[in-house]
Amino acid sequence: MDFFANISNNLTLLVPLSAMVGVQIFKFAREWLRTGDLSLHVLFSTGGMPSSHSALVTSLATATGLQFGFGSAFFSISCVLALIVMYDARGVRQESGQHARILNQIVRELFSGHTISERELKELLGHTTIEVFVGALVGIVYTLLVM
pLDDT of residue 61: 98
Tens of pLDDT, residues 74-90: 999 999 999 999 988 87
Q: Give the C-alpha separation, 62 to 120, whole Å.
A: 38
Percent of the chain at pLDDT > 70 equals 78
Q: What is the mean pLDDT of residues 84-109?
A: 73
Higher pLDDT, 95 or 13: 13
- Model pTM score: 0.78
Higher pLDDT, 49 or 100: 49
pLDDT of residue 102: 72
Cβ neighbors of 107 (< 8 A, separation 6 or more) are 116, 118, 120
Tens of pLDDT, residues 105-133: 776 767 676 655 555 545 555 678 899 99
Q: Give the C-alpha separation, 80 to 34, whole Å.
A: 36
pLDDT of residue 121: 47
Query: Phi-psi bin for 20: left (phi > 0), alpha (psi -120 to 50), beta?
Result: alpha
142 pLDDT tier (thresholds 50, 70, 90) = very high
Q: What is the mean pLDDT of residues 54-74?
A: 98
Assess whether pLDDT exceeds 90 at residue 51: yes
Contact 139, 21 (CB under 8 A): no
Cβ neighbors of 22 (< 8 A, separation 6 or more) are 55, 142
Domain boundaries, the chain: 2-146
DSSP secondary structure letters along 34-84: HHS---GGGGG---SSSPHHHHHHHHHHHHHHHHH-TTSHHHHHHHHHHHH
Contact 49, 17 (CB under 8 A): no
Q: Give the C-alpha separation, 73 to 25, whole Å.
A: 32
